[in-house]
């Protein structure tokens, strides 16, 4: 899904271009997609198995990754339902694995 990033109106109005391009330097990638994904197409990352992962999966988010940093404790991933779709040691690993997983699927 591609969405225009051009300004939508008159003087002083801006489109989504600034919001799309702002995170690009931090991620070292060029962002060219703007819009709202369907919840089933979205992926979230969190360190709380109950509220970040199980809560969002219960609301219809497609993929939730539990990242074992912050407040995540070992073994907690088996205590929640629905369980995380992905378990990773850190955020970078979770993102890498999710991108590989999505290429295969």
Over the stretch 13-70, which tens digit does the pLDDT of each residue have? 555 555 556 656 666 666 655 566 677 888 889 999 888 888 888 888 888 899 998 8
At residue 1, the pLDDT reads: 44
At residue 88, the pLDDT reads: 92
- Report how far apart, in Å, the C-alpha atoms of 20 and of each of 13, 42, 44 are: 15, 16, 18
pLDDT band of 5, cuts 50, 70, 90: very low
Supply the CATH number for residue 99's domain.
Answer: 3.40.50.1000
Residues 100, 52 share a domain: yes
At residue 92, the pLDDT reads: 92
**Using CA of residue 15, residue 102, residue 30, residue 56, what is the dihedral sign?**
positive
Domain range for 86 is: 37-104
Residues 43, 29 share a domain: no
Residues 63, 85 share a domain: yes
């Amino acid at each position: 899904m591609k969405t225009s990033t051009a300004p939508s109106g008159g003087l002083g109005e801006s489109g989504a271009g600034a919001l799309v391009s702002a995170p690009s330097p931090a991620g070292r990638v060029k962002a060219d997609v703007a819009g709202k994904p369907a919840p089933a197409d979205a992926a979230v990352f969190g360190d709380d198995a109950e509220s970040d992962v199980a809560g969002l999966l219960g609301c219809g988010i497609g993929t939730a990754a539990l990242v074992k940093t912050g407040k995540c404790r070992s073994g907690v991933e088996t205590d929640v339902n629905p369980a995380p779709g992905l378990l990773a040691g850190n955020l970078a690993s979770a993102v890498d694995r999710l991108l590989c997983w999505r290429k295969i699927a």
